[in-house]
Amino acid sequence: MSKILILGDIHGRSFWKEPCNNWEGKIVFLGDYHDPYGEYVDGEPNKDESLANLKELVEFVENKRHTSDVICLLGNHDLSYFNGNGKCRFDYWQQEEVKELISSLNPQLYYVIGDLTPEVPNKYLFSHAGITKNWLGCNNLELRDLDDIDITNLSPLDQIPYSRGGYSIYGSCVWNDLEDFQFQTPYKDYYQIFGHSWRGRTKPLITDKYAMLDCCKPFILNTEINKLEEWKLDS
């Protein structure tokens, strides 16, 4: 498991198809599968196109899981279909179908590679928006406590930061903004990989502490040499 294919926010886009159909091994989707930008941004899919794309993605994941490990993380847009909070570009007309499709992905809030002890090198923590000690601490949570959160009810996941139009000092692991994350204390010494904070196409932010990959591009993480780079067909 030295190489992992990583896909940032989908929002109805098809950039996941070519890399996923040409990849053997672990895949991590960072969340936000629907709620496209089509009504606001030229060249982006509309809701019907996005729903068709989501159906394709679900079919792919269900088939791929017979032979490979596919991790699907939960994003803020996905969460709103389960508890009705924080709606943005929400698909009211097709919400039940969208909810059912996202449920079939068995989404999780985070994914860890590496042990929880400091002796293990090259540890990685994947989430939709980044996880900080600040947010966990103010809710008296440990990372493992996220496994028990009921996404169908309001919870600390619904803490939306001021920078995102909410009323919380610290954003949750599906709502935290990149600008806030940079000034908070990350969870332990993991290298964090997340999406959520759209900076435009082709504009990821990759640092020595974290990577924000919401940019319509697939990436490859080589865990043996601790290298993250854009996916190419011959990767």
Please check whether residue 191 lies inside any domain of the structure. yes
Q: For the domain that residue 163 is a member of, what is the CATH number?
A: 3.60.21.10
Please check whether residue 15 lies inside any domain of the structure. yes
Characterize 126-140 residue by residue with b for buried, 16 or more Cβ atoms within 10 angstroms of its Cβ, and e for exposed: bbbbbbbebbbeeee
- Tell me if residue 138 falls in helix, strand or coil: helix
pLDDT at 233: 81
**Residues in CB range of 119: below 8 A, 6 or more apart:** none
User: Helix 95-104 to helix 47-64 angle, to the nearest 10 degrees?
Assistant: 20
Please check whether residue 43 lies inside any domain of the structure. yes
Please check whether residue 145 lies inside any domain of the structure. yes
Structural domain range at position 103: 3-230
Please check whether residue 235 lies inside any domain of the structure. no
How does pLDDT run along the chain (235 residues), one tens digit per residue?
Answer: 589 999 999 999 999 999 999 999 999 999 999 999 887 777 899 999 999 999 999 999 999 998 889 999 999 999 999 998 888 998 999 999 999 999 999 999 999 998 655 555 679 999 999 999 999 999 999 999 999 999 999 999 999 999 998 899 999 999 999 999 999 998 988 999 999 998 777 789 999 999 999 999 999 999 888 899 999 887 6
pTM summary value: 0.94
Task: Report DSSP letters for 24-76, one per residue.
Answer: -S-EEE-S--S--STTTSTTS--HHHHHHHHHHHHHHHHHHTTTS-EEEB--H
Rounded percentage of the chain residues whose pLDDT exceeds 70: 95
Q: Quote the CA–CA distance of 110 and 72 in Å, as a whole number.
A: 9
CB 27 within 8 A of CB 219: no
pLDDT at 121: 61
Structural domains of the chain, count: 1
β strands within the chain, DSSP E = 3-7, 27-29, 70-72, 110-113, 124-127, 191-194, 205-206, 210-212, 218-222, 227-230
If one counts every other C-beta atom within 10 angstroms of the C-beta of residue 199, the result is 12
